[in-house]
Amino acid sequence: MKQSLQLKMGQSLALTPQLQQAIKLLQLSTLDLQQAIEEALESNPLLEREEEEPSEMGADAAVDFTAAAPENDTGDELPVDTRWEDLLPSSAPAQTNGDGEGSQFADRDTEPETLQDQLLWQLNLTRFSETDHAIALAFIDAVDANGRLTQSPEEILEALRLPDIELDEVQAVLHRLQHFEPTGVFAADLRECLLLQLRQMDVETPHRSTAGAIVNRHLDSVATADPRQLSRRLRTTPEDVLGALNLIRSLDPTPGISVGESTTEYIIPDVFVKRSNGHWRVELNPDIAPKLRINSLYANLVKSGGSASDKSYVQDNLQEAKVFMKSLQNRNETLLKVASKIVEHQRDFLEYGEEGMRPLILADIAQQIEMHESTVSRATTRKYMHTPRGIHELKFFFSSHVATTEGGECSSTAIKALIRKLVQGENVKKPLSDNKLCVLLEEQGVIVARRTVAKYREQLHIPPSNERKRLV
């Protein structure tokens, strides 16, 4: 085969650095966007925040300084013997004593406490020998997030391989650890967890002994058992059984979850939806990103005299700053277009709730705003909308559809809301089965299969009918 050189012309799409930056900014969340802006401000000297002058503030952003004035006006001149601290509170930090009370501020910035951390803290306050301390550490390492033991005392003994240690000593350490907080930790299963909580209650607690007998012998049938049958088996009154069942329901089956819970995550909405004069208005959150501008002092260096390297440096940063500001503007415009179309489609949700949610897919919005589906997907990921119905991610408003008896469509979100409403209004002594839910949904014009109802019910974390049944 003879080799040769050929010249061909063709067209292909290429992502320019400007387009790559615009796509990156579009898919960033609010917090990530603020961090990206701070990094751009630090790295580019020609980019700066646009500070609003008091005279340029609009009527909506005006501050009523008169209302904030003190009741006793001091006037332009102050008495000679007047001190500044007498008029305004001091901003200096409070004095701390030798006990280190000021260290509380540093403690607030620490990582959240886990279950193991709290158990170790209690262990350090308990007197143990070196051997018992090692056994206790092994038990703490074997506790999962729910507070359950993942290893038996026999397995702990075998894993430690300590000389002259019997199983009785390991179990004795376990009994002492089971008095740690939260009550119910270091239990092997649910039965032992509930019994530990009952045993640590006051002896005079009403129905305590009956509750212990039920947990010990009839735990599997607590949800569906007839109180009269239980009373005959336990040789007590139905009233005593009812009180014991209520006491059991007040216990915590997973005590470890209450410790080390995840910290609260605050969501900053990107879009606000408000109703004004009978119309829904969509506005971008003005606080999520500061207004930027080009530093005129550095920008004029391009026109003034200077070395070629200085001019090239300023010119490169000037171009980068303009591209960054343009990308921010495109991000805001795209986000506003997508949010406006979502509100236009989901107006019934804003007025009536989840039952009014309409089917919607990304292609519908992409077609109306004349953009690609991938662009709409980036614009709706990790972006949040503040509505009268709460704060929701933009992805929340997209859902599949199910046919109705009238030939229309119903969204899966609306069907879930109907299922939740039906379950909440059911008779607890005769809960609705999945087949019954299908029939009731069909009566409301929604055709859905039983397996679909079961799938939606599981997504709503609603147990099946046999587990929801209550005889009391």
Domain boundaries, the chain: 115-258, 271-397, 401-468
* 5: CB partners within 8 A, 6+ apart: none
For 224-242, the DSSP string reads T--HHHHHHHHTS-HHHHH
Helices (H), 250-361: 296-299, 308-345, 347-352
Q: Which two tokens stand for residue 299?
A: 């920008």
> 401-468 maps to which CATH number?
1.10.10.60
Question: What is the structure's pLDDT at 84?
Answer: 34
| Cβ neighbourhood burial of 252 (10 Å; 0-12, 13-18, 19+) | middle
Q: 3-class SS at 252?
A: coil
Question: What is the structure's pLDDT at 339?
Answer: 94
- Report the length, in residues, of the chain: 472
Q: Kindly indicate the confidence band of residue 107, based on its pLDDT and cuts at 50, 70 and 90.
A: very low
Question: What is the structure's pLDDT at 383?
Answer: 92
Strands 384-387 and 271-276: parallel
pLDDT in tens, 213-267: 888 888 877 766 677 887 888 888 888 888 888 888 889 888 888 776 555 667 8
Helices (H), 178-260: 190-199, 208-218, 227-234, 238-249
pLDDT in tens, 1-37: 678 888 888 887 677 777 788 888 888 888 888 899 9
Going 159 to 163 to 166 to 171, the CA torsion angle's sign is negative
Q: Kindly indicate the confidence band of residue 334, based on its pLDDT and cuts at 50, 70 and 90.
A: very high
